[in-house]
Amino acid sequence: MSPDAKPTDFSAARIHETVHQVLTAGVLPAIVQAGNPVLRQLAAPFDGQVSDVELGQLIDLMRSVMHKAPGVGLAAPQLGIPLQLAVLEDQFDVDPEVAAARGREPLPFFAMLNPSYQPTDGSTVAFYEGCLSVNGLQAAVSRPESVRLEFTAPDGTRQQREFTGWQARIVQHETDHLHGILYLDRAELRSISSNAEYSARWAQPDISLARKELGFLPGV
């Protein structure tokens, strides 16, 4: 949880109303951008604020928004819903050299409620990240290389799974969203680049060139 994140003041009834509005709008909702307070709140733990049917519909809608963006994860607060729910999926075709350097393997779709994670060892690794709620920017973020995720599945079962490499990064990024944390809170500030500069200069498999030229993570 971010030191400055406060629990959402949305009641269960208001969360239900917000979900209902999103589901009945008839169009895919816009993704909330940085500066909106909903992204800086501790989202409410899911405890039945919506029915099983509505939850399934919301998960399907979030998956559609994620695919359209496109992205590899989307948290409910990014649709203006302060609820601890996120969807994750990574099926993109990636250059083999990039995939090997980043430990990036396909991540089958899943939805998680009330997640939390813990590193499984002391190793960390830094790569560039972006965010659907921070349009136009990329930045290098150091994160634990392997994590153990605990979450509730949509069917109500409590689960525990371990992730490594890029999958672990996605899990951490989306779980952070539910605790009022944006990736920029954890970023190496000197690494921040526009999408255009990132594509032109720093889109190598690793961050070694960017680290040298921009002057971040000295000694790594």
180 three-state secondary structure: coil
Cα 184 → chain centroid: 12
Which among 174, 188, 197, 213 is annotated as catalytic?
Answer: 174
Distance, in Å, from the CA atom of 116 to the CA atom of 98, rounded to the nearest integer, reads: 28
Is 174 among the catalytic positions?
Answer: yes
Structure tokens at 30: 């816009």
Contacts of residue 197, Cβ cutoff 8 Å, sequence gap at least 6: none
186-217: burial string, b at 16+ Cβ within 10 Å, e else: bbbeebbbeeeebeeebbebbbeebbeebebb
Which residues form the catalytic set?
A: 174
